[in-house]
Structure 1
Amino acid sequence: MAVHLFVPHFSVEECLEEVRACLERGWTGAGYKTLEFEAEWCRQTGLAHAHFLNSATAGLHLALEVLKRRLGWAAGDEVISTPLTFVSTNHAILHAGLRPVMADVDRFLCLDPDAVAARLSPRTRAVMFVGFGGTAGRYAAVRDLCRARGIALILDAAHMAGTRLDGAHVGHDADAAVFSFHAVKNLPTGDSGAVCFAQGVDDAAARRLSWLGIDKDTYARTQSDATYRWRYDVADTGFKYHGNSIMAAIALVQLRHLERDNARRRQLAARYRARLAEDPRVTLQPEAPDCVPSGHLFPIRVDRRDDLMAWLNAREVYPGVHYRDNTEYPMYADQAGHCPAARAASLSLISLPLHLGLDEATVDHVAGLVRQGLDAVGAAPAVAS
């Protein structure tokens, strides 16, 4: 039986019930279930604000646009980011007319606070911290650095739905936190996300920008009384980034089970860890202090990564790679060489299959094949990082 990297898991009957409510009411767009999800997300996470969107990518762009406009950033101002991420992170910086400045990663595969400090310049306006695989890494040190320097902090929490740090859900202490509810994430829908601002003024600005700059969305114009209030103003040149009630209906259901599902992911990750920890050819991502991770990914680092991937694929095990060093892409190639740790990680990382369809026997099977594959390809022992 093939073992795939990701297999989305939905509580199907519950999802159908919530979606049916949208269809019967005749409201599938923004409003209704999107508002219900936002309220429930804030209640469960303790975050002050949440705006449901069509993707986390849209959320990253909105976070930058809103802060840029309120704080008066200029074109070409700098945002410190990581090259070890999905391209959405850095593309959003470019789309906002800002310049991504790559800083290196640490053993957690997240931004290294010392590397961030070394890349600061008079034009640094924000840091984009990516919670790689669902861990917080040394987020608190980066947060403290930003506060001390008066720099905005955006948390790319695409992997972090349910991650807790020091007992609190991540994101409450960032200027903006962005979560992904893509089908393969821990809180899966078809595709959607949320941006969570610390300040209400930013949340309000994001709501205007996400609906083309229109000052009143259609749902709001139907709620005041029986009359449809057709007149609205367009105060800004915004985007069509808002989420819809079908995706929010699914998200509401998946949110009910998030803690249970993440706990199961951590169990599976712990079993991988126990099966691979003693192999000198395997480097595991360390567990960050005071962090209860979401368990989105289980990354390992190995020698002869590409050969091992091919060997596993031939045996119907299909891991992934998170991520290719972004400086290998042409739009970021000018920063190649600045982040040797990220580059080395990019060449050796494998994400092993991790999803709710796995059981302990399958984890043991995959871990056993990893060890056999390392024998077969002649992998060398890991070099301490």
Structure 2
Amino acid sequence: MPGFELFGESERAHVNDVLNTGIIMRYGFDGPRKGIWKSKELEAAISNKLGAQYTQVVSSGTAALVTALAAMGVGSGDEVIMPTFTFVASFEAVITVGAVPVLVDVDDTLTLDPAAVRAAITPKTKVIMPVHMCGSMSDMDALMQICKEHKLLLLEDACQSTGAKFKGKYLGTIGDAGTFSFDFVKTVTCGEGGAITTNSEEIWRKCDGFSDHGHDHLGVDRGADLHPFLGYNFRISELHAAVGLAQFNRLDEFLAIMKRNYDALKSALAEVPEISFRRIPDPSGDSHTHVSWFLPTREATANAVALLKAEGQIAGSIYWYDHNWHYIRNWAHLKTAASLNELHPDQKKAVIHHANKDFSASDAVIGRSVSTQISLLWSEEQAREKGEKMAQVIKKSLSGEVIKLKI
């Protein structure tokens, strides 16, 4: 899956462009940089490829989420509906801007269940934030209809699905804004980096300022910029942007390799009758970063995972139910609202309330789900062979050879 697997001459060439100028900051120093503006080039490449009018690159996917939420006017007292299955950055960003993450159940798409979203809407709801997990998409038709009915904003967290589409439109360009992560293990990597895409000039201008201490970037030079509002330092460096520019220009190459290997691995796993696969709202738009599969019960899934691990076939496969980065079951810090800087009592109370609700519907999905990452380094034959070896072990586990686990 990660672009770093194919890191090569193009990436080195773009980095050397920056090193040869000695200017690694994205703003200012116009003369010494000799026309080298990798951050601007990366923003243009993203907008041109994805069809977004505006792109702002920042220091991480988390920074992208915080910046987008702030630019969309989300703050104290607001509620943001998001899924129980995501990365911790999603709810961290909501809490950072003073709002409350309202977690709701996922369905067999491994993304927001539209019915659960409808049930969670209150007068305080301001944003619905689908998280396009593991390379695939949420049911955007249903979510856009809900936003339209209730006059809510739609912020797409596309950090795990760069290059995926829904009905011909790239994820991250469908809602009011979208966010991307380019960290080391994403499809496209900057090492550390992220981006916000939007078709709203107002949202983009606020993102542009907020991510650089509130500078409006309208002065003759950076020292002449005004400060219309408070912001933070979420700037990306030119070195990181240089890597990202080379990587993003290879996106179609990466997507093609992943699809080939995805198809080979999935066909091998499909030989196990008990395996079913994630429902994808638009299969043609999948970016194929993972094959996500289910077994009939949580016990069967846990036993299969244990045997895969025992026989050395677990590498690259994640059992999300036990994962403390991506599923609410193990987010103790969220459930207690543990923070180094004490939250406002009202926010803390609301965070704890929403994080400790009944998520048994999500448990029923995530407890049976495993996602196997697709490597860019595999040949088609290696992908098929991996799937066949996994299938053999899973069949063995289903036949009664189990490893006892506490589930």
- Paired residue for 1:57, among 40, 50, 62? 62
Distance (whole Å) between structure 2 residues aligned to residue 312 and residue 172 of structure 1: 38
Matched, 1:211 2:212: yes
Specify every segment of 5 or more residues in structure 1 that has no aligned partner in the other structure, as ranges: 381-385
Partner of 2:71, secondary structure, is helix
Query: What amino acid sits opposite 2:258 in the alignment?
Result: R
Shift of 1:7: 7.8
Are residues 10 and 362 of structure 1, via their aligned partners in 2, closer, same or farther at CA, if it must alter by over 3 Å?
closer
Distance (whole Å) between structure 2 residues aligned to residue 260 and residue 267 of structure 1: 11
Partner of 2:318, secondary structure, is coil
Distance (whole Å) between structure 1 residues aligned to residue 329 and residue 319 of structure 2: 16
**1:295 is matched with which residue?**
288
Shift of 1:376: 3.6
Distance (whole Å) between structure 1 residues aligned to residue 134 and residue 75 of structure 2: 32
Distance (whole Å) between structure 2 residues aligned to residue 205 and residue 379 of structure 1: 58
Partner of 2:48, secondary structure, is helix
**2:373 is matched with which residue?**
353
Shift of 1:11: 3.9
1:189-232 CA deviation, whole Å, 9 max, x = no partner?
2111101123111111111111122333xxx87xx5xxx66444
**2:199 is matched with which residue?**
198
Are residues 51 and 377 of structure 1, via their aligned partners in 2, closer, same or farther at CA, if it must alter by over 3 Å?
same
Distance (whole Å) between structure 1 residues aligned to residue 394 and residue 196 of structure 2: 41
Shift of 1:327: 4.6
CA RMSD of aligned residues (A): 2.3
Distance (whole Å) between structure 2 residues aligned to residue 212 and residue 114 of structure 1: 39
Query: What amino acid sits opposite 1:27 in the alignment?
Result: I
Shift of 1:249: 1.0
Distance (whole Å) between structure 1 residues aligned to residue 377 and residue 137 of structure 2: 25
Greater RCO (CA < 8 Å, at least 6 residues apart): 1
Query: What amino acid sits opposite 2:379 in the alignment?
Result: D
Q: Does structure 2 conserve the Cα–Cα contact (< 8 Å) formed by 1:327 and 1:336?
A: no
Q: Does structure 2 conserve the Cα–Cα contact (< 8 Å) formed by 1:93 and 1:100?
A: yes
Moved segments of 4+, more than 4 Å: none
User: What's the TM-score, normalizing by structure 1?
Assistant: 0.87
Q: Does structure 1 conserve the Cα–Cα contact (< 8 Å) formed by 2:18 and 2:238?
A: yes
Shift of 1:286: 2.4
- Paired residue for 2:14, among 18, 21, 32? 18
**2:363 is matched with which residue?**
343
- Paired residue for 1:281, among 268, 274, 277? 274
Specify every segment of 5 or more residues in structure 2 that has no aligned partner in the other structure, as ranges: 28-36, 336-351, 401-407
Partner of 1:8, secondary structure, is helix
Query: What amino acid sits opposite 2:292 in the alignment?
Result: P
Distance (whole Å) between structure 1 residues aligned to residue 396 and residue 282 of structure 2: 35
Distance (whole Å) between structure 1 residues aligned to residue 64 and residue 222 of structure 2: 28
Distance (whole Å) between structure 2 residues aligned to residue 234 and residue 351 of structure 1: 45
**2:389 is matched with which residue?**
369
**1:383 is matched with which residue?**
none
- Paired residue for 2:318, among 317, 320, 333? 320
Are residues 58 and 203 of structure 1, via their aligned partners in 2, closer, same or farther at CA, if it must alter by over 3 Å?
same
Partner of 1:160, secondary structure, is coil
Shift of 1:82: 0.3
**1:186 is matched with which residue?**
187
- Greater mean deviation of Cα atoms: 363-372 or 113-122: 363-372
1:343-374 CA deviation, whole Å, 9 max, x = no partner?
22332322213110112232223222322322
**1:143 is matched with which residue?**
144
1:63-120 CA deviation, whole Å, 9 max, x = no partner?
111112xxxx551221111011111111111111111112221221111111111111
